[in-house]
Amino acid sequence: MGDIYSKRKRSEIMSKISGTETKPEILVRKYLFCKGFRFRKNDKRLPGRPDIVLPKYKTVIFIHGCFWHGHHCKAGKLPETNKEFWENKINSNIERDKKNQHKLEKLGWKIIITWQCKLKNKKVVTKKLKEIEQKIQNEHTI
């Protein structure tokens, strides 16, 4: 099955996808702020520019988009057209993520990764947000 859009149109669509200020990021930040956590957003001084940085807890949070970071869910499914390009692109993103995580760990940062798909289903959003909060607090007590 081919793409319903021309190569030019598909390229235009993909170029407009934002890497920051996504709905899942905003959701997590609002929740954490309401719970009294203070953080920085997309700190360029850290490897991988984490979505949320909690300096007090020496913890970073990445909210990964399922497609761009290679999650094995419905949203992470690669397009059928130009498959080799997308496989290479996503695999290089995954490798970059691993390298950045390793660098952060070497610097003493705790890492929390959550997937965009886990923050879309209203039934599990609250549970997932509480889980993130718990992880931050547990990491701090160690």
pLDDT digit string, tens, across residues 47-74: 999 999 999 999 999 999 999 999 999 9
Mean local confidence (pLDDT), 128-141: 82
Would 7 be classed as within a structural domain? no
pLDDT at position 8 is: 75
Would 5 be classed as within a structural domain? no
Would you place residue 12 in the very low, low, confident or very high pLDDT band (cuts 50, 70, 90)?
Answer: low
Least reliable range by pLDDT among 3-17, 76-90, 115-129: 3-17
In angstroms, the CA 6 to CA 19 distance is 23
Nearest to 48 by CA among 113, 117, 118, 137: 113
Do 140 and 122 meet the contact criterion of CB atoms below 8 Å apart? no
Tell me the CATH number at 135: 3.40.960.10
Query: Which residues form the domain of 118?
Result: 20-141
Instruction: Give 117-124's long-range contacts (Cβ < 8 A, gap of 24+).
Output: 117/66, 117/71, 117/73, 117/74, 117/75, 117/76, 119/23, 119/24, 119/27, 119/28, 119/63, 120/24
pLDDT at position 125 is: 86
Would 131 be classed as within a structural domain? yes
Number of domains making up the chain: 1
Would 37 be classed as within a structural domain? yes
In angstroms, the CA 8 to CA 133 distance is 42
Would 4 be classed as within a structural domain? no
